[in-house]
Amino acid sequence: MTERNPGTGPAAGMRPAVARALADLGDRLPDLVVLAADGRALATAFAARHPDRFIDVGIAEGNLMGVAAGLARAGQRVVVCGMAPFLVRRAAEQLRIDICRPGLDVTVLGVGGGLGYGTLGATHHVPEDLGALSAMPHTRVYCPADVHAADWAVRDAVLGGGPRYVRLGAREDPVVHAADTPFSFDRPGVFDFDGPDSTSAPGDPDAPGDAVVVAAGRTVAEALRAAEAVRPHGRRVRVLGLTAVFPFPREALLAAVSGASTVVTVEEHHVLGGLATQTALALAGRWHGTFRFLAVDERPAPVLDQAGLFHFYGIDAASIARALVEPPPTPE
């Protein structure tokens, strides 16, 4: 799926789009039940249409997973909605043992994964969610970049069956995909940015960028801005935007980096268990070049909004641009 120099569009929140998707799925699937933990933003429309299939358990995320598991074992298709930090951390044992280990049909929608809740601080940050859920048995993990990717991810997760986790934005995210983008689990979006001297045809799969940036979620927009910013430097950049992050699309990655001299990963996540880890494992022994990774580090987060935290941790567009044009540091 190649998307040509799209830039980024106006920001939009994922929650309204996901709420519409759940309501639509509720109309189509009489066995769909939606659960929440003291939060109805994602389920308002569903609950209005199907009040007998919506349950709010209150601030009790562990119990929430137990109820979801029981309903799934009884033959229901279940969606769990809540704040990502509390679903991922507070209910980790129940999620792993009750839902993921037996492979039950439960989709977990985590709002505000990564650094999405910004100024609310460390209790509300969860920069390990994608890696933690990727390590759960039988679980597929999604990290959509915008409203269009979120709509597809939720529908694909619910219709696909089995344990699923979808990281959703807590605020508004730049729109990077066209509304009619044909998403696929194992085919990430490919965005090509040619340098000023390029003679390749638009979207030519045989003329990849000399640098590839691998991103997911909110960092896709940052990567697109960086790719545009380095065009005057003569760099031809390909951005690989992942909506589905686990199982990791290794073959798509290897195809995207063929001929590239530099690969940069950027993620709103700790380096362990995230895009850098998965990319390095996929490239090991099969690609040779300069590999750089930008990720959330172990420093305590200051009180900043999401954009400020991106700058603090060096995962914003300016940091990606520097990684693309500056020589790698010399080993000491």
Average pLDDT over residues 116-136: 95
Mean pLDDT of the region 228-242? 92
Q: Is the pLDDT of residue 51 over 70?
A: yes
Q: What CATH class is the domain 184-325?
A: alpha beta
Q: What does the DSSP 8-state code read for residue 99?
A: I
Tell me, yes or no, if the two domains 11-174 and 184-325 fold the same way: yes
Q: How far apart are CA 126 and CA 122, in angstroms?
A: 8
Residue 195 has pLDDT above 60, yes or no: no
Q: Residue 145: phi, psi to the nearest 5?
A: -90, -30
Structure tokens at 321: 């641009």
Mean pLDDT for the stretch of residues 71-85 = 97
Which DSSP state fits 184? B
Name the architecture of domain 11-174.
3-Layer(aba) Sandwich (3.40)
Torsion of CA 172, 177, 180, 184, to 10 degrees: -110
Q: Give me the mean pLDDT over the 81-99 stretch.
A: 95
Q: Is the pLDDT of residue 324 over 80?
A: yes
**Which pLDDT score, from 0 to 100, does residue 201 have?**
38
| H or E segment to which residue 205 belongs | none
Which pLDDT does position 10 carry in this prediction? 80
The answer on pLDDT for 5 being more than 60 is no
- Tens of pLDDT, residue by residue over 300-315, are 999 999 999 999 999 9
Q: Which of 190, 225, 187 is nearest to 209 (CA)?
A: 190
Place of tokens 């280990």: 101
* pLDDT at residue 7, rounded to an integer: 52
Cis before 247? omega within 30: yes
Instruction: State mean pLDDT over 258-279.
Output: 95
The predicted model gives 174-195 an average pLDDT of 86
Average pLDDT value over all residues in the chain: 90
What pLDDT sits at residue 38? 85
Q: Where are the domains of the chain?
A: 11-174, 184-325
Beta pairing class for 11-13 and 172-174: antiparallel
279 and 242 in contact (C-beta within 8 Å)?
A: no
